[in-house]
Structure 1
Amino acid sequence: MIDLPLVARGKVREIYDAGDGRLLLVASDRISAYDHVLPTPIPDKGAVLTRLSVWWFEQLAPVLAEFGASHHLVSASEVPAAVAGRAMLVRRLEMLPVECVARGYLSGGGTAEYRRTGSIRDVALPPGLVEGSKLPEPVFTPSTKAELGEHDEPIDFPRVVELVGAERAEQLRALTLALYRRGAELAEAAGIILADTKVEFGLAAGSLVLGDEVLTPDSSRFWPAATWSPGSVQPSYDKQYVRDWLTSSGWDRVSPPPELPEDVVAATRERYVTAYERLTGQRFT
């Protein structure tokens, strides 16, 4: 039980008002897919998301500083005992209405869009790419930020300009791609391909701040580099495994989602823990 006012409850997190311009972000073991929260939790998932985000905030701080930006993490230790290990104390931000997505490889919805148009959003891509192909350069492919139960909608860069202004839009694109490149570099050193990732930003005293979680298996596609083979769906250390199972189960993505079998739960947990351990070089205990 947390004796703080509840501000919001999302697909995965509860957010509490911690006073003094701070929030408590608590990551649950819930897992979502196709804009639905699944009925079966993944043990230790909230702890993995939190610990990995804390590690990434530290790694990415120099990149943020180059842009005059920062991250929202205050502490992962000064949190209530009931949520220790899966909560972060963070600065309260004025969140921007854009999901900032960077893609270095073609996958998922990006592949489908490319097959239809030869582009992703307003970014033209060369012919001949297939599922899993590495892009010539990472691309910025933003979307809207949907409410719980709603769908994120792809948007092009001019729409980002309309939402946040030209200067801020340019900053978001440049910083998102810089964070992706640094994340991909560190992941490559751990034998992992960072195919794509989603980040969120807010403002504090007019300055850009990286918020939410960062470079986790919930917000990114992580592929084992040793088995990368363009032309098919790649093995992964993220929730794509759950998406694939749901697709194969015959679920229509409209009705309430089914319970996950025990073997799928165990295999999903293993993927999340593996991502944490390989990226950070630390044992998950």
Structure 2
Amino acid sequence: MAELNIPPAPAIEGTTHLHSGKVRDLYEITEGAHAGRLLMVASDRISAFDYVLDSTIPDKGEILTRMSSWWFAQLADVVPNHVISTDVPAAVAGRAVICEKLAMFPVECVARGYLTGSGLLDYNATGQVCGIELPGGLVDGDRLPEAIFTPAAKAAVGDHDENVSYDQVVGVVGAADADALRALTLDIYTRADEIARGVGLMLADTKFEFGARIAADSTRTIVLADEVLTPDSSRFWSLADWKPGQAQPSYDKQIVRNWLLSPESGWDKKSGQRPPALPEEIIERTRARYIEAYERLTGERF
């Protein structure tokens, strides 16, 4: 497990800090009308290669929060979501939401419409992705015959999520919930890809998290939670620049990864040492890439 070095979460009046991940800090609200609910705060932290970097990306937390909120609205007729209110404490205004407590499914629900990333590695080794047989001869960036559900087991913070088969998901959550999670994942992916294509982008792959809302009468509803369809959880490509057979430029933190792997950074990924601080130019280019993704998708100015 990498040494994440996540900074201490700031205290927020009327809340108790519960957990910090690579990007988000989670609190329980202890006072007021929303007591017992959760406050989810998106920070400006950025991670790469399982390290939380010492550098931050200005406005990143607000961009992620606004983008997720926009997507939740686009998907409201497909799946309910966990957001209750955006009326949050002033200290985290613009980058936090008040949300439901859900019984979270311990599965990363991944949809892939194109072959790349860890899916490409699996395919090159086995001809399959998560046990799904694919046609021969595919290359990096190829569009798949149809979108596929390629789940991952949620790992401890700092570890890699591990791709698993659908049968393994059934073993963890049961057949009915596994079927529902797969159907929702692919429905959301299809809707999101259609929307992205309308503005000249394409959604290569994305991951979702779901939880169960349990009513007083024990009725269960599957709810979309966490973030959704942001540059941190999804791989967006430009339709105009798409060229299978090579790595595609993504609207995400690839700028950071590329710099860390370049001779200029002086960092060796295999050394076990923490990555260095990012140059100001890389920070600004990454911030601009996140803003461009937000503005192209939503049609709004940041």
Same fold flag (TM > 0.5): yes
- The equivalent residue for 2:20 is 9
User: Contact between 1:251 and 1:258, CA under 8 Å: does it hold in 2?
Assistant: no
Q: Tell whether 2:93 aligns with 1:84.
A: yes
Deviations 1:41-71 (A, max 9, x none): 011110000000000001011111xxxxx11
- The equivalent residue for 2:117 is 108
- The equivalent residue for 2:195 is 186
- The equivalent residue for 1:94 is 103
User: Contact between 1:132 and 1:232, CA under 8 Å: does it hold in 2?
Assistant: yes
Deviations 1:165-200 (A, max 9, x none): 011001101100100000101011111111100100
- The equivalent residue for 1:170 is 179
Distance 1:115 1:223 in 2: 22
- The equivalent residue for 1:73 is 83
After TM superposition, the structure 1 = structure 2 runs for residues 202-213 of structure 1, keeping only pairs within 5 Å, are 202-205=211-214, 206-213=220-227
- The equivalent residue for 1:270 is 288
Which of 142, 152, 155 aligns to 1:133? It is: 142
In the TM superposition, residue 263 of structure 1 has moved relative to its aligned partner by: 1.4
Distance 1:192 1:258 in 2: 32
Q: What is the SS of the residue equivalent to 1:103?
A: strand
In structure 2, list runs of 5 or more residues that go unmatched.
1-10, 215-219
Distance 1:131 1:208 in 2: 33
Q: What is the SS of the residue equivalent to 2:204?
A: strand
Distance 1:42 1:143 in 2: 27
User: Contact between 1:95 and 1:202, CA under 8 Å: does it hold in 2?
Assistant: yes
Q: What is the SS of the residue equivalent to 1:99?
A: strand
Q: Tell whether 2:269 aligns with 1:252.
A: yes
Q: Where has structure 1 moved over 6 Å in runs of 4 or more?
A: none
Partner amino acid, structure 2, of 1:14: D
User: Contact between 1:44 and 1:269, CA under 8 Å: does it hold in 2?
Assistant: yes
Q: What is the SS of the residue equivalent to 2:194?
A: helix
Partner amino acid, structure 2, of 1:72: H
- The equivalent residue for 1:67 is none
Q: What is the SS of the residue equivalent to 2:153?
A: coil
Which of 52, 56, 63 aligns to 2:78? It is: 63
Q: How many residues align?
A: 278
Partner amino acid, structure 2, of 1:282: E
Q: What is the SS of the residue equivalent to 1:115?
A: helix
TM-score (norm 1): 0.95
Distance 1:279 1:111 in 2: 26
Q: What is the SS of the residue equivalent to 2:77?
A: helix
User: Contact between 1:15 and 1:25, CA under 8 Å: does it hold in 2?
Assistant: yes
Partner amino acid, structure 1, of 2:25: E
Partner amino acid, structure 2, of 1:75: S
Partner amino acid, structure 2, of 1:264: I
Q: Tell whether 2:121 aligns with 1:121.
A: no
- More displaced, 260-269 or 98-107? 260-269
- The equivalent residue for 2:38 is 23
- The equivalent residue for 1:145 is 154
- The equivalent residue for 2:63 is 48
- When Rg is computed on C-alpha atoms for both structures, the one with the higher figure is 2
> RMSD between aligned alpha carbons?
1.2
Q: Tell whether 2:238 aligns with 1:224.
A: yes
In structure 1, list runs of 5 or more residues that go unmatched.
65-69
Distance 1:109 1:241 in 2: 18
- The equivalent residue for 1:239 is 253
Deviations 1:21-59 (A, max 9, x none): 411100000011222211110111100000000000010
- The equivalent residue for 2:8 is none
User: Contact between 1:103 and 1:195, CA under 8 Å: does it hold in 2?
Assistant: yes
